[in-house]
Structure 1
Amino acid sequence: MDKHYDLIILGGGCAGLSLALRLAELGEQSPTTLIIEKRPAYSNDRTWCFWDEGNPALTECADHTWSSFKVQLGDKQLVKNCSKNPYVMISAQTFYTRAIQNITANAKRCRLNHDESVLAVIKQASQTWRITTNMGVYTANHVIDTRPASQISDDMSVLWQSFIGFEIEASQDLFDAQQFTLMDIDQSFKNGLGFTYVLPVTPNRALIEYTVFCEQAMSAGSLQPYLDVALSQYTNHADYKVLRKECGQLPMGNQTVKQSDDSSYIFAGLYAGAARPSSGYAFQRIQGWAKLCAQSWVEHQSFIPAPKDAALTAIMDDIFLHVLKSNPDAAATLFFSFFSKAKLISTIRFLSDHPTLTDLGSIILSMPTVLFLKSLPSFLKKRVSMSLHVSIFKSTK
């Protein structure tokens, strides 16, 4: 027999669980919800980080915070005090545990199914959705699809952020647990930007990650040699054990953002605009969308897709990615200039999605002028081409 829900969420990752958490806060007003997750169980396989801007709802489950950070380029080093806006880390284990606890507490109205794969999704004549899985058949008034792309190709995004990281425990104290390394830029990496990212949580334990921004999505195997070098550098060849591993590919400037013409079927998550194009940060954006979705349910009994970025911010991200793609060998200088010249509060607000006009001015002035002017003609040509394509597409619909 079919089981009917107000809402079925396809995919129980960060976006799906964040929405479920927000809806659970509505109590008896919350929609009856089913979350379908294909993984048999959750593991501590990733971390989410962001700058604390005084939102307790985002920081209450933080695993660690840092009051300063550094950016390194060869023998040049920047150290920034961010104590007014600490950098926050939430581990997958902490986030998933909290989500499951809240879902369990709201068991009458919300259910999470693990180890279940979606086989078909069909809109019925009754205007409800019929979802067939390997475990059964369900119907729903609304569907929110947060599943990642089944496979990725390089042309799906302007650039890709690929990474591999090991959380290690060393045999001796090596780290300052109050300071993290945002970027230790690898000058030997070609055709893009390669850098080491270090999040120390105790004097002898840290997540050490190697990240690449480039046109191709890189596999964990191809990144492993770079991580090995970083591990040797940051442990100074001391003995250590690997506690866990994480890896992935994030779209930067997703060119195939999923959209739906049916307001009762919404795409959400990384491949529907959750990640900030110029940085890959997604956690805060997802939380903001989940909050808006919960409000929409209370007020209209409906849900909404992720809001579009402010026009000026979107244009700046587009220009930034275009410059990086057109000038991969200049990426190291570009990022170091960004962090050394822009005001820290402007940088934080820009990366956190709500810069003021003054902040945007500070960011623009921090960029290498010659490099941007050189890339401007090709950027404008691309924008005109895209506008013509959209106009032609709309006229043929």
Structure 2
Amino acid sequence: MSGPCDALDGTSSDVVIVGGGASGLSLAHRLTVLGAPTVTLVEAPDGPRRPPERTWCYWDRGTGDFGEAITASWSRLRIHATDGSEVTVDPSPLRYHMLRSTAFERLVHSRLALSPGGRLLRATADTVRNTLDGAEVRCTAADGRTLTLRARHVFDSRPRRALPPARTQLMQHFRGWLVHTDADRFDPAVADLMDFRVPQPVHGLAFGYVLPLAPDRALVEYTEFSRTPLTTSAYERALAHYSRDILKLGAFTVESAEQGVIPMTDGRFARRVGPAVFRIGTAGGATRPATGYTFAAVQRQSRAVAEALHDGRAIVPPPHGRRALAMDAVLLRALDTGRIDGPDFFTGLFRRIPPERLLRFLDGATSPWEEWGIGMRTPIGPMLRTAVELPFLARRSHPAPRSGGNHR
């Protein structure tokens, strides 16, 4: 699939994809399915620049094209309110799926290998620029050599150095442990999507997140929606408290850990950098502002990009519709100001809205009439006050997340 770096230096492709995260891998997959002539995927080489294994989750009616890479899936989802009460829902025909990044990489890499024009380059992308006849990507190989790739189109998924100006910006930040317990402690049929029994921060909200893989094995995570990420030691203390005092796991070992930060912002993400360079994934606005969900939008965006290229057009459509972004801007501001109580808000949605409809709403796949009905089941006064206020707020710069990664 990928020969010596020298063989790729100076070569031209129809498409170069920069970054081997969820969006880069997804676009490479879609292009190979449609039979794009030549696709080069640039991934960081092994070492400090290569991210550790990550977890990506989404809900769907079936497994789609990713069946062989799915680690686990659940037909029931559970929410724990701050008072300890539970809401368990069955969103049938939707199921919640978990992908581990290594399995997804293997799947996409194998399909690139089977594609006559598919190539994988392990190198660090340094610069991406438009040229008179396309675009150029300058890379540094693991041995320090400089390589130049040329393409008709480049799709760049690398995190932005600075986020666009926004009226509101929070961070979804988390740390998770893959734990193995000495006794059976988990129900593999139910995923805990939000567990609000953890101590709540002064600003924002916090919840636990449990994806059981077996009765004695699960991904256990602590997540916050707030303005500033925590230190690793603070996440560790929060995870220890959640695992021992709330979940009461007893004796357990931590097999691995993962950590990340996802921007939650109503900033306007430009998806086109020039005639031949485009941003995709979180860098292209795929992250849902008020929830941090990303993976499903990445699939919609990747499918649309691949189909457009197949038809001879180069576009990156908006991953979320205007109505969804407008509603998210209101919710994000209401959370940030404390006008609504985050745990009560999300718990209430799962109590009052049919689960399949609610999940479609979170993915931006509901009709205006369905959205009106959902809106009538939210705190109307605080939301209206926030909606009236938003047009008068200035957009300003906020710090970008220090590290990336996402689960949803």
Q: Decide: shared fold, TM above 0.5.
A: yes
1:229 lines up with 2:230 in the alignment: no
Structure 2 CA distance for partners of 1:368 and 1:129, relative to 1, 3 Å? same
Which residue among 300, 320, 324 is the counterpart of 1:313?
A: 324
Name the aligned partner's letter for residue 364 of structure 1.
Answer: G
Question: What does residue 402 of structure 2 align with?
Answer: none
Structure 2 CA distance for partners of 1:298 and 1:329, relative to 1, 3 Å? closer
Structure 2 CA distance for partners of 1:11 and 1:262, relative to 1, 3 Å? same
Which residue among 112, 123, 139 is the counterpart of 1:133?
A: 139
Check conservation: 1:43, 1:92, Cα contact below 8 A: no
Check conservation: 1:191, 1:328, Cα contact below 8 A: no
* 1:353, distance to aligned residue in structure 2 (A): 2.0
Query: What CA distance in whole angstroms lies between the structure 2 residues aligned with 1:359 and 1:60?
Result: 34
Question: Greater relative contact order: 1 or 2 (C-alpha under 8 angstroms, separation 6 or more)?
Answer: 2
Which residue among 121, 124, 128 is the counterpart of 1:117?
A: 124
Query: What CA distance in whole angstroms lies between the structure 2 residues aligned with 1:254 and 1:122?
Result: 27
Question: What does residue 271 of structure 2 align with?
Answer: 259
Check conservation: 1:190, 1:329, Cα contact below 8 A: no
Which residue among 4, 10, 17 is the counterpart of 1:2?
A: 10
* 1:209, distance to aligned residue in structure 2 (A): 0.4
Structural mapping, 1:172-191, within 5 Å: 172-185=183-196, 186-191=198-203
1:99 lines up with 2:108 in the alignment: yes
Task: String of CA shifts for 1:145-199, please: whole Å, max 9, x gaps.
Answer: 1111347799796211101000111111001100111111134322011000011
Name the aligned partner's letter for residue 205 of structure 1.
Answer: R
Question: What does residue 247 of structure 1 align with?
Answer: 259
Query: What CA distance in whole angstroms lies between the structure 2 residues aligned with 1:181 and 1:249?
Result: 20
1:340 lines up with 2:351 in the alignment: yes
SS at match of 2:153: strand
Question: Unpaired runs of 5+ in structure 1?
Answer: 387-397
Question: What does residue 366 of structure 1 align with?
Answer: 377
Structure 2 CA distance for partners of 1:269 and 1:376, relative to 1, 3 Å? closer
Question: What does residue 64 of structure 1 align with?
Answer: 72
Task: String of CA shifts for 1:288-333, please: whole Å, max 9, x gaps.
Answer: 1111112111111x43214252222221111111111111772222
Question: What does residue 37 of structure 1 align with?
Answer: 43
Structure 2 CA distance for partners of 1:154 and 1:236, relative to 1, 3 Å? farther
Name the aligned partner's letter for residue 105 of structure 2.
Answer: Y
Name the aligned partner's letter for residue 181 of structure 1.
Answer: D
Name the aligned partner's letter for residue 321 of structure 1.
Answer: L
Name the aligned partner's letter for residue 236 of structure 2.
Answer: Q
Task: String of CA shifts for 1:312-360, please: whole Å, max 9, x gaps.
Answer: 2221111111111111772222222222122222201101221122321
Query: What CA distance in whole angstroms lies between the structure 2 residues aligned with 1:312 and 1:165?
Result: 32
Q: Which moved more, 1:220-229 or 1:38-47?
A: 38-47
Structure 2 CA distance for partners of 1:208 and 1:55, relative to 1, 3 Å? closer
Task: String of CA shifts for 1:185-236, please: whole Å, max 9, x gaps.
Answer: 1343220110000111110001000000112244444322211111113552
Structure 2 CA distance for partners of 1:322 and 1:329, relative to 1, 3 Å? closer
Question: What does residue 193 of structure 1 align with?
Answer: 205
SS at match of 1:138: strand
Question: What does residue 341 of structure 2 align with?
Answer: 330
SS at match of 2:376: helix
Question: Unpaired runs of 5+ in structure 2?
Answer: 1-8, 142-146, 396-408
Check conservation: 2:180, 2:252, Cα contact below 8 A: yes
RMSD (CA atoms):
2.5
SS at match of 1:40: coil
Name the aligned partner's letter for residue 97 of structure 1.
Answer: R
Question: What does residue 99 of structure 2 align with?
Answer: 90
Name the aligned partner's letter for residue 365 of structure 1.
Answer: M
Q: Which moved more, 1:43-52 or 1:83-92?
A: 43-52
SS at match of 1:260: coil
Query: What CA distance in whole angstroms lies between the structure 1 residues aligned with 2:109 and 2:241?
Result: 38
Which residue among 222, 232, 249 is the counterpart of 1:210?
A: 222
Q: Which moved more, 1:176-185 or 1:327-336?
A: 327-336
Query: What CA distance in whole angstroms lies between the structure 2 residues aligned with 1:153 and 1:230?
Result: 35
1:21 lines up with 2:29 in the alignment: yes
Structure 2 CA distance for partners of 1:122 and 1:272, relative to 1, 3 Å? closer
Check conservation: 1:346, 1:363, Cα contact below 8 A: no
Identity percentage of aligned residues: 25
Segments ≥4 residues shifted beyond 4 Å: 41-44, 150-157
Task: String of CA shifts for 1:46-85, please: whole Å, max 9, x gaps.
Answer: 2111222246235553221112122112232212123432
SS at match of 1:319: helix
Query: What CA distance in whole angstroms lies between the structure 2 residues aligned with 1:43 and 1:133?
Result: 18
Query: What CA distance in whole angstroms lies between the structure 2 residues aligned with 1:189 and 1:243?
Result: 28
Check conservation: 1:11, 1:38, Cα contact below 8 A: yes
Question: What does residue 285 of structure 1 align with?
Answer: 297
Structure 2 CA distance for partners of 1:362 and 1:233, relative to 1, 3 Å? farther
Check conservation: 1:254, 1:273, Cα contact below 8 A: no
Instruction: Flag the structure with higher helix content.
Output: 1
Check conservation: 1:175, 1:202, Cα contact below 8 A: yes
Structure 2 CA distance for partners of 1:38 and 1:55, relative to 1, 3 Å? closer
Check conservation: 1:166, 1:245, Cα contact below 8 A: yes
Query: What CA distance in whole angstroms lies between the structure 1 residues aligned with 2:269 and 2:231?
Result: 22
Query: What CA distance in whole angstroms lies between the structure 2 residues aligned with 1:13 and 1:156?
Result: 28
* 1:141, distance to aligned residue in structure 2 (A): 1.5
Check conservation: 2:54, 2:258, Cα contact below 8 A: yes
Check conservation: 2:62, 2:95, Cα contact below 8 A: no
Question: What does residue 159 of structure 1 align with?
Answer: 170
1:269 lines up with 2:275 in the alignment: no
- TM-score by structure 1 length? 0.87
